[in-house]
A and B are shown apart, each in its own frame.
Chain A
Amino acid sequence: MSWLRRNRWVLGAAVVSLVLTVQPFRDSDVWWHLAMGHYILAHGIPAVEPFSFLHASNPWVGQQWLYEVGLARVVDVGGAGLASVLMGLVASTALLLALLSIPEQRRPSGPWMAAALLLSALVAAQLLGVRGQVFSLLGIALVLNVLTRWRAGSTRVLLALPPLFVVWANLHAGFVIGLAVAVVGLAMSRPATRRHRLLLGAAIVAAGVLTLVNPAGPGLWSYVARAFSNSTLSSVVIEWQSPDFHDNWLRLFELEAILLVTAWALTGRRELLGMVVAALAFAAALEAQRNVSLFAVVAAPELAVCGAAAWAANRDRLARGRLGSLRARRGPRRGPPGWFGAAVLGVLVAGTAGGVVPQITAAASNHFEATHEPAAAATFAAARLAGHRLYTIDTWGGYLASRFPTGRVVYLYDETGVFGDAALQQYLDIHDLRPDWAQVIATEQIDDAILPATAQEVSALLTLGWGVDCRDALSGSVVMSATSGGGTTDPAPPCA
């Protein structure tokens, strides 16, 4: 009970953060993960990519098989809404655990913890939702907690590392970041005894070895190396590109980074480990914006501790200045009455529920799917174009994989590590309309496509004499065929 009372602010903030972390299926990859989960439940983990008619140059690694199976089960049981709630809980728990990784003696007051959690939730929100990466955020928060306890003298806590990494390696490839954080912790900390250091080293080695306990064995590591070294990836997947600071949410990321540096500069209560991990995460986020959520999680505890310490250290300075004299003239402030806190809490919980519940109903999930994915177009294709090869953009490829899990009619989706560089380049030939785009279409015997109505591929295909079979105004998609002829998009009927 006293633990709850001590942490009521940060717990309240974690609850409020559910408004941000519970999200519909916004990440388009969720659809092929879902399809793969159902595939694994029916057939086991495949050896080769099972949905696409392209030749994937690498074997299927199944690096997220546990997440995929779990996702499929959850969606079967409670629909997309349940998956959204559970993953939102995981994300909020990750942020909460990151804040709770602050050692007791350094822990700032509740409002600072709550503010840091909510700011980080805002910054990370665009990269949360139903996606395997959220488990990696949770894993990193757990590693931070393990390191905190180890630095406080506990060695028993190190026993948690190996099982954590066994599970993590089967959920998401971000476990390598967790190992890196642990190694940085080992290098940056000064434990009481040499034995402490050796034990952490041994635990990291054991955790690293146990990551091999996965369906692909050592192949998982080569998969990760391929993914990180693939230069084409940033051409295809926006998340792997550097942040575009014209976006407001990335301005929030910038704001959090500036606040963090300011707090570090204004206080002496800093710890090298936290600073190094946050700085590395910031550098990683500049390289690929998908790492912004990683930064948000590791920055949250630093921001809370150092922000509070900086404020405390400089409050007197402000009071000495003219601002302080102005405040003194106004007289001391009275605190709010006791009932006020309870009322605020009630409003927050009600507001959170009001924000979350409408997102998780079946109707809301269906509407989101119909407006963000080519649902009606896929229904049209299922009825009229059964067995035809369908070209689409990479972000819709995963959705089509979930709608057409058999027959290998789908083009490419964002499991780029499996498809390999040659397939990606071939996709870019069409998507970027490189000179041989029409030849690739012909070579791959593609006669049908589901595309955003404004995509440049639509114009290109029209010049080849393709026609528009139907148009889905809700998702802004069109179904096109080489055989329907036409050369114009105007008279197309609705897909529904």
Chain B
Amino acid sequence: MPVPADNDRDVISTAPAAAPTSTAPPHADGPPGSLIDRLTSPGGLFLSAVMLAVAFPLTSAIRDPDFWWHLRSGQLIMQTGGLLHTDPFTYTATGHAWTMHEWLTEVLFAGLYRAGGLAPIVALLSVVSWLGVVCIFLRARFDRPGPFALGGGMVLAVIAGYPIWGPRAQMITFALACLTLLLTERHLRRGGRLSLVLIPVFLVWSNLHSGFLIGLGFMGVVLVAEALAHLLKLPGRAPAARVRSLGLLLIGCFLVSAINLNGPAIILYPFATQGSAAQQSLILEWHSPDFHDWSVRCFGLMLLSLAALIVVNRSIRLRDAALVLATVVLSLQSIRHVALFVAASTPVWITQADLLMSRRRSRPRRQRPLPPVQMRLVAWALLCGAVMVVYLGARLVPAMRTREDSLFYAQDFPVCAARWLAADRQPLRIFDQYGEGGYLADKLSGQGDRVYIFGDAALMGDDLLISYGDVESVRPEWDRILRDAGTDLVLFDTNTPLASVMVHATDWVVVYTDPHSIAFAPRERASALGLPPQPTYSSAGDTCTALVDTPASQLTQEPG
């Protein structure tokens, strides 16, 4: 059986013989020899600027509502010296077994927080996200695309993923998925032992985030596609020996993933979320993309343009097509999977765009002589320095300096209500919003307060999620659910249906209010709870005073 030679430069067609030629010509204006020449050529300057600029949308202050309970969990793990097997935060899921699938991330968060507050966590996750994008860039470069396609594709990709970016544990999975795809592709093209790095990667990854299954899934998709390509004798398939060794590598990665403080059961854990209708309907990021949102339309643009490029070129490797197909299906199902689409499909978009441009170009561009190397180095340093300065000044530093008690957080989390409750010495059972349970757990669990629900949906279980949804949606049995659970306090956002109804409910009384939150207690027990009085926020410079005094229309989402 003929085995194709190293196909490092080839974009192999799955189209019939009548299709246009499937091999992308090496770029006439391709990168010159040395690293300095490559970096300081016009294309290199452009790509350097792009790869620094893509860090802008990847960086922000922490917005992920789950961050706070991850942080608290990490602190508890460090205090107790082991994983927690039951939930210490709620009064409703105390008997549920807890799989701490992100325990290592949580410990990392806790350690960094102890060292420097939120700032090092923001910095680390921004760098991790950026490294993921670098892996995409390196994978795209296997096909030697021109700088315009490469840079344009990278910009489009980070804009398409904008709804998802930000400092959160999921970015670790994004970066490691990009690394897995990079090493897998490199292995199929060049062989070698570098791909063995994936074994320790998966060992760590399975302890960092349950998304390691995505990495295994990507490898599996590539493996099946390559096996099919061999079965159909498609051109462009990787050598059979490399495919076989990829299969062994996959088995190895699968086995080391089971080496986890949670045990081999961690491998089944992610399926609990994928298979839960309650989680998929309650949690916003599991919803399908809403294409009325402009930030999601960029994803739509990338999706449609990728389809158009594939149709026009009629030339794609089977493994690339399989990855695109899998991630398109996932990302249309849940907006959170747009990150996976970006990870897997961006290099394909770049290759396809470059192929189209190569075909449209009637004659090769003339190689113009470059200016002296010193001048080019100065230009490169100035350009990169300018982008870095703007990035640091406008993005990273403000995001790192955003304090937990700042107005930025107070407008999205019950910062002031938590401060009010912190003055209360009596343990309370608090019915909270799903997305705010983690914040309240972080701030109040230390004094014995318990929340109804927080963001570990798998731990909460479908029954609890459904009950929560019934109360949040003010279904007829909302009051019974609250009372049966023994709720002392309902702390919810103002302007929500539940708050709007409870204001009129005669057997609940308002005990606290600020522009973000409102709290209700059962009328018959309100005085017995001994709650602190409603504070008056009037101190100049205080976050809660600013929240009360700032009209909603003037609140800004800018960190700092």
Task: Using CB atoms and an 8 Å cutoff, list the residues of chain A in contact with chain B.
Answer: 231, 234, 241-246, 254, 258, 261, 264-266, 268, 270, 275, 279, 282-283, 286-287, 313-314, 317-318, 320-323, 432-435, 437-438, 453-454, 456, 458-460, 462-464, 489
B419 CB to nearest chain A CB (Å): 24
| Beta-carbon contact of A462 and B500 below 8 Å | no
Q: A243-B288, A265-B311, A268-B314 are in contact. List 20 more A-B contacts (CB 8 A).
A: A231-B292, A234-B292, A242-B292, A244-B287, A246-B281, A261-B307, A266-B16, A283-B304, A286-B300, A313-B18, A317-B233, A321-B231, A321-B234, A433-B497, A437-B500, A456-B475, A456-B497, A463-B502, A463-B504, A463-B506
What's the Cα separation between A244 and B287 when bound, in Å?
A: 7
Q: How far is it, in angstroms, between the C-alpha of A292 and the C-alpha of B555 when the chains are bound? A: 39
Do A246 and B288 contact each other (CB < 8 Å), given the known contacts A261-B311, A265-B310? yes
List, in ascending order, chain A residues with CB within 8 A of B292's CB: 231, 234, 241-242, 287
Chosen A-B contacts, 23 in total, with CB atoms closer than 8 Å, are A241-B290, A245-B332, A246-B288, A258-B329, A261-B310, A264-B311, A265-B310, A265-B316, A266-B15, A283-B300, A286-B300, A287-B291, A313-B18, A314-B16, A317-B233, A321-B231, A322-B231, A322-B232, A323-B231, A433-B497, A435-B499, A456-B501, A459-B474
Q: Which residues of A contact B18 (CB under 8 A)?
A: 268, 313
Chain A residue with the shortest CB-CB distance to B299: A286
Complex Cα distance, B288 from A241, in Å, reads: 11
Given the interface pairs A279-B304, A322-B231, the reply to whether A242 lies near B475 with Cβ below 8 Å is: no
Q: From the candidates A318, A323, A463, A489, name the one contacting B501 in the complex (CB within 8 A).
A: A463
**Which A residues are in CB contact (< 8 Å) with B333?**
245-246
> In this assembly, does B550 line the interface, its C-beta being within 8 Å of a C-beta of chain A?
no
**A-B interface, 7 closest residue pairs, ranked by CB to CB distance from nearest:** A433-B497, A321-B232, A456-B474, A463-B504, A264-B311, A459-B474, A433-B500
**A268 contact set on B, CB distance < 8 A:** 15-16, 18-19, 314
Quick check: is B494 within 8 A (CB to CB) of the other chain?
Answer: yes
Measured CB to CB, the closest approach of chain B to A397, in angstroms, equals 20
On whether A438 and B291 interact (CB within 8 A), knowing A322-B231, A432-B497, A458-B476, the answer reads no
Contact A317 B232 (CB under 8 A): yes
The answer, yes or no, to whether B46 is at the interface (CB within 8 Å) is no
Contact of B332 with A459 in the complex, beta carbons under 8 Å? no
Q: Are A454 and B476 interface neighbours, CB within 8 A?
A: yes
Of B232, B277, B333, which is in contact with the most chain A CB atoms at under 10 Å from its CB? B232
Task: Check B232 against A318 for contact (C-beta < 8 Å).
Answer: yes
In the assembly, what is the distance between CA of A472 and CA of B478, in Å? Answer: 21
A242 touches B290 (CB 8 A): yes
A79 to chain B, nearest CB (A): 36
- Report B470-503 residues with CB < 8 Å from chain A CB: 473-476, 478, 494-497, 499-503
Given known A261-B307, A261-B310, A317-B232, contact A433–B501 (CB-CB < 8 A): yes
Q: How many A-B residue pairs have CB under 8 A?
A: 117
Task: Kindly state the separation between the CA atoms of A459 and B480 in the bound complex, as whole angstroms.
Answer: 12
Give Cα distance in the complex from A432 to B329, angstroms. Answer: 31
Q: Is chain A's interface secondary structure helix, strand, loop, or mixed overall?
A: helix
Cβ–Cβ contact B289 & A279, under 8 A:
no
CA distance A243 to B515 in the complex (A): 34
Assess whether B280 is interfacial by the CB under 8 Å rule.
yes
Residue B447 interfacial (CB < 8 Å): no
Residues of chain A within 8 A of B496, CB atoms compared: 433
Whole-angstrom distance between the alpha carbons of A437 and B316 in the complex? Answer: 56
* Given A244-B287, A266-B314: A453 and B19 interface contact (C-beta under 8 Å): no
B281 CB contacts on chain A under 8 angstroms: 246
Residue from the list A270, A313, A321, A462 in contact with B16, Cβ < 8 A: A313
Q: Shortest CB–CB separation between residue B531 and chain A, in angstroms?
A: 22
Cβ of B381 < 8 Å from any Cβ of A? no
Give chain B residues whose Cβ lies under 8 Å from the Cβ of A453: 476
B325 within 8 A of A: yes
| List of B residues within 8 angstroms of A241 by Cβ | 290, 292
Q: Are A460 and B474 in contact (CB under 8 A)?
A: yes
How many Å from the CB of B170 to the closest CB on chain A? Answer: 20
Contact of A265 among B15, B232, B234, B500 (CB under 8 A): B15
Q: How far is the CA of A314 from the CA of B496 in the complex (A)?
A: 57
Given contacts A287-B292, A459-B476, contact A321 B233 (CB under 8 A): yes
Is there an interface contact between B288 and A245, defined as CB atoms closer than 8 Å?
A: yes
Contact of B232 among A234, A246, A287, A323 (CB under 8 A): A323
Closest beta carbon of chain A to B269's beta carbon, Å = 21
Residues from chain B with Cβ under 8 Å of A254 in the complex: 329, 332
Bound: A242/B300 CA distance, A:
12
B321 to chain A, nearest CB (A): 8
* Residues of chain B from 234 to 260 with CB closer than 8 A to chain A in the complex: 234
Chain A, Cβ-Cβ closest to B496: A433
Interface residues of B in 292-334 (CB under 8 A from A): 292, 300, 304, 307-308, 310-311, 314, 316, 325, 328-329, 332-333
Partner of A462 from the list B289, B476, B497 (CB cut-off 8 Å) is: B476
- Chain B residues contacting A246 (CB-CB under 8 Å) are 277, 280-281, 288, 333
Query: How many angstroms between the C-alpha atoms of A245 and B281 in the bound complex?
Result: 11
Say yes or no: A244-B501 contact (C-beta < 8 A), given A282-B304, A323-B231: no
- Is B505 positioned at the interface, with any CB of A under 8 Å from its CB? yes
Cβ B332 vs Cβ A265 within 8 A: no
B-chain residues with CB within 8 Å of residue A489 when the two chains form the complex? 476
Q: A322 to B499, alpha carbons, bound, how many Å?
A: 65
When distances are taken between beta carbons in the complex, the residues of chain B under 8 Å from A462 are 476
Pick from A234, A266, A464: contact of B504, CB under 8 Å: A464
Contacts of A314 in B (CB 8 A): 16
Check A459/B291 contact, CB under 8 A, given A266-B14, A434-B495: no
Question: Which residues of B have CB within 8 Å of A279?
Answer: 304, 307-308
A462–B506 Cα distance when bound, in Å, is 11
Query: Chain B residues with Cβ under 8 A from A320's Cβ?
Result: 233
A264 to B309, alpha carbons, bound, how many Å? 11
A147–B471 Cα distance when bound, in Å, is 55
Q: Indicate if the CB atoms of A456 and B304 lie closer than 8 Å.
A: no
Complex contacts, A243 vs chain B, CB 8 Å: 288, 332
B233/A435 in contact, CB under 8 A: no
Smallest beta-carbon distance B228→chain A, Å: 9
Interface residues of B in 1-42 (CB under 8 A from A): 14-16, 18-19
Chain A residues within an 8 Å CB radius of B289:
242
Docked pose: A250 CA to B407 CA in angstroms: 41
By the criterion CB–CB under 8 Å, are A435 and B475 in contact?
A: no
Residue numbers in A under 8 Å from B304 (CB-CB)? 279, 282-283
C-alpha gap A246/B506 in the complex (Å): 39
Which residue of chain A has the shortest Cβ distance to B506 in the bound complex?
Answer: A463
| Residue of B with least CB distance to A454 | B475
Q: A244-B287, A283-B300 are in contact. Are A275 and B232 (CB under 8 A)?
A: no
Interface centre among B280, B292, B478 (most CB of A within 10 A): B292
The residues of A that contact B328 with a CB separation of less than 8 Å are 258
Q: How far is the CA of A474 from the CA of B394 in the complex (A)?
A: 60
Q: What residues of chain A lie closer than 8 Å to B474, measured between beta carbons? A: 433, 456, 459-460
> What is the chain B residue whose CB lies nearest that of A313?
B16
Closest-by-CB residue of A relative to B277 is A246
Task: Report the minimum CB–CB distance from A438 to chain B (whole Å).
Answer: 6
Find B288's partner among A244, A265, A283, A321 (CB 8 Å cutoff).
Answer: A244
Chain B proximity of A237: nearest CB distance (Å): 12
From A258, A313, A432, B325 is in contact (CB under 8 Å) with: A258
User: How far, in whole Å, are A323 and B506 apart by their CA atoms in the complex?
Assistant: 73
Residues of A within 8 A of B291 (CB): 242, 286-287
Q: State the Cβ distance, A401 to closest chain B Cβ, in Å.
A: 26
B309 to A: closest C-beta gap in Å: 10
Task: Give complex CA distance A420, B173 in Å.
Answer: 46
Question: Please, which residues of chain A bring their CB within 8 A of the CB of B504?
Answer: 438, 460, 463-464
Q: Report the separation of the CA atoms of residues A108 and B42 in the bound assembly, to the nearest whole angstrom.
A: 50
Are A275 and B311 in touch, CB under 8 angstroms? Answer: yes
- Residues of B near A275 (CB, < 8 A) are 311
Give Cα distance in the complex from A454 to B473, angstroms. 10
Which of A242, A270, A286, A434 contacts B500, CB < 8 Å? Answer: A434
Task: Identify the interface centre among A258, A313, A433: most chain B CB within 10 Å of its CB.
Answer: A433
